[in-house]
Amino acid sequence: MDLVIRDADVVDGSGEPSYRADVAIKGGRIAAIVKEAAAAGCQRPTARRVFDAEGLVLSPGFIDMHAHSDLALLRDPDHSAKVAQGVTLEVIGQDGLSYAPVDDRTLAEVRRAITGWNGNGDDIDFTWRSVGEYLDRLDHGFDGEGIAVNAAYLIPQGTVRMLAVGWDDREATPQELDTMRQLVADGMREGAVGMSSGLTYTPGMYAKDAELTELCRVVAEHGGYYCPHHRSYGAGALEAYEEMVELTRNANCPLHLAHATMNFGVNEGKAPDLLALLDDALASGADISLDTYPYTPGCTTLVAMLPSWASEGGPEAILGRLKDDGTAERIRHHMEVVGADGCHGVPIEWDTIEISGVGDPAVASYVGRTVQQSADERGEAPWTTARRLLLDDSLGSTILQHVGHEENVQEIMRHRVHTGGSDGILQGDKPHPRAYGTFPHYLGRYVRELGVLSLEECVAHLTSRPAARLRLPDRGLVREGHRADLVLFDPATVAAGSTFETPRTLPAGIPHVLVDGRFAVEDGRRTDVLAGRAVRRTA
């Protein structure tokens, strides 16, 4: 054997009670599990290295079902933001916007559109255009050695529409719809696990349900799932969830609801309504799962708050409208009085919008303050401040939006189809702490401190459930023959180090992380191991 982990308290991802065991690893896979080896007095497995795990829990590596590491995996070989949490697999290509499939025009547009999520990409060699080429690039990683953790990819529906239709708010022609079907089919054949949408982001939000249904049928034919950021998390949230359930039922496509929260004042205490909707659908045979992060604030870009009509045509058109006083006043009215669809149909409250990052260092003074605070300091209306920042930062600003409810967060995470997803945006001077803390926060805060979930339940939510959604038969459980993507953590001390004040602090209580049977984190320190690869859809 290459490695034997001795006397670990194994929480195997199944949800069943833990047990004590020796776990042997060979060739990147779990080769043997000997339960209660010391007590039984049996022949214990031996290896070139024997590791004493006394006092530590051994679990499968955590799967981040909603990650925004599309460029970070190629930019940062260390990637401790995720590795140190025990994450061994990330699902990227989220919210309908990412970097494949593209042509030269679309690549430039999408880079501009999601600078706030991933940076502008000036430090990345964009050698790919197709989904398959992007996955190959992840496999190659850094000098052919790979990347920090494994990655699965969702075809971004907004990027597909950008490529086939452009940025216009209109129905696709039959020929354009055929082009989109082909792009989705090609991406699925090349290894994507499904398709994502960002239905409050342009241009994906311009797609009607009939168009989305046709694309979901293609996804289903190739064994994938649909992961929508649906049309509202505020006013009309329940209707938006119901829309996605009905759409995927018509397409006969599995559904995974992205960051399934119930936010804003209109949804306080309404998590049971959402779960009742899902339970009814599950009882009728629907295939549904969801992910959440264990925090109340959301995180996105400031430009995403604008009404969709103001975003038609892409970034340059947005900037042109913001520069025009009359159009800017219309935008303000929609945002502050009507409730823009970019802000989920709820009139924006500027004291809940905290600037978390900017693209231009010259406007860094906004970071860490709400728009209302910055406006008060300048003695001006908050829209004046927000408009100036959008223009001066070329739409690159990211925000925290403080509109969530703790009781909703806890209620949803208890559900039997729940999985964990950080939705972690790694850009900005003051990112959301979920980017560095989601998984230890589940284990420390919601298991040990609050008892919302048992340890065994929580680990299942973070490992085997997402692996089942991804249709990965050899991941997500501590089982013989499974991939040796593993985490060793101390259940008494595991905790998120990241806070809203110090969001880039690494967690405590996770001393060891293995990717493909190799220590990516050892004794709390990141090693130089780059064992991650693209994880392609299996039939």
* 76-93 pLDDT tens trace: 999 999 999 999 999 999
DSSP states along 124-152: S-----SHHHHHHHHHHBTTTSBBSSEEE
What was the pLDDT predicted at 135? 98
Same domain, 235 and 120: yes
Alpha-carbon torsion angle 420, 423, 428, 433, nearest 10: -30
Same domain, 194 and 341: no
Terminal-residue alpha carbon distance, the chain: 31
Q: Is residue 490 part of a domain?
A: no
What was the pLDDT predicted at 327? 97
Which of 354, 385, 402 terminates a domain? The answer is 402
Q: Is residue 488 part of a domain?
A: no
Q: Considering the entire predicted model, what is its pTM?
A: 0.95
> 50, 4 in Cβ contact below 8 A?
yes
Same domain, 398 and 408: no
CATH of the domain at 433: 3.20.20.140
Same domain, 195 and 121: yes
Same domain, 345 and 418: no
> 90, 161 in Cβ contact below 8 A?
no
Q: Which two tokens stand for residue 429?
A: 């001077």
24, 51, 488, 525, 529 from 48: Cα distances, Å: 11, 10, 19, 22, 18
What was the pLDDT predicted at 182? 98
Which of 385, 402, 419 terminates a domain? The answer is 402
What was the pLDDT predicted at 537? 87
Q: Is residue 112 part of a domain?
A: yes
Q: Is residue 55 part of a domain?
A: no
**H helices of 446-520, where?**
455-462, 464-469
What was the pLDDT predicted at 39? 67
What was the pLDDT predicted at 40? 67
Which of 437, 472, 507 terminates a domain? The answer is 472
Residue 158: phi and psi, rounded to 5, are -65, -40
Same domain, 114 and 240: yes
Beta strands in 237-360 (DSSP E): 255-257, 288-292, 298-301, 353-357
Which helix (H) or strand (E) segment holds residue 313: the answer is: none
Distance in angstroms (rounded) separating the CA atoms of residues 88 and 85: 9
Q: Is residue 39 part of a domain?
A: no
Same domain, 273 and 380: no
What was the pLDDT predicted at 43? 81
Same domain, 235 and 353: no
Same domain, 338 and 289: no
Same domain, 360 and 433: no
SS3 label, residue 355: strand
101 prior amide bond cis, ω within 30: yes
Same domain, 310 and 368: yes
DSSP character at residue 7:
E
SS3 label, residue 14: coil
Distance in angstroms (rounded) separating the CA atoms of residues 439 and 507: 9
Distance in angstroms (rounded) separating the CA atoms of residues 399 and 371: 10
| Packed helices 157-164 and 104-113: angle between N→C axes, nearest 10 degrees | 130
| Packed helices 371-378 and 382-392: angle between N→C axes, nearest 10 degrees | 100
Distance in angstroms (rounded) separating the CA atoms of residues 349 and 226: 31
In the chain, the percentage of residues whose pLDDT exceeds 90 is: 95
Same domain, 386 and 284: no
Handedness of CA 79, 82, 88, 94 (dihedral sign): negative
Distance in angstroms (rounded) separating the CA atoms of residues 9 and 425: 33
Q: Which range of residues forms the domain containing residue 73? A: 62-296+404-472
Q: Is residue 96 part of a domain?
A: yes
Distance in angstroms (rounded) separating the CA atoms of residues 489 and 511: 6
Positions in the chain short of pLDDT 70: 38-41, 539
> 270, 262 in Cβ contact below 8 A?
yes
What was the pLDDT predicted at 42? 74
Distance in angstroms (rounded) separating the CA atoms of residues 83 and 64: 11
Q: Is residue 24 part of a domain?
A: no
CB neighbour class for 389 (10 Å; exposed up to 12, middle 13-18, buried from 19): buried
- What's the total number of domains in the chain? 2
Strand order in the sheet with 194-198: 62-64, 87-92, 150-156, 194-198, 225-229, 255-257, 288-292, 418-420
Q: Is residue 2 part of a domain?
A: no
Residue 19: phi and psi, rounded to 5, are -150, 160
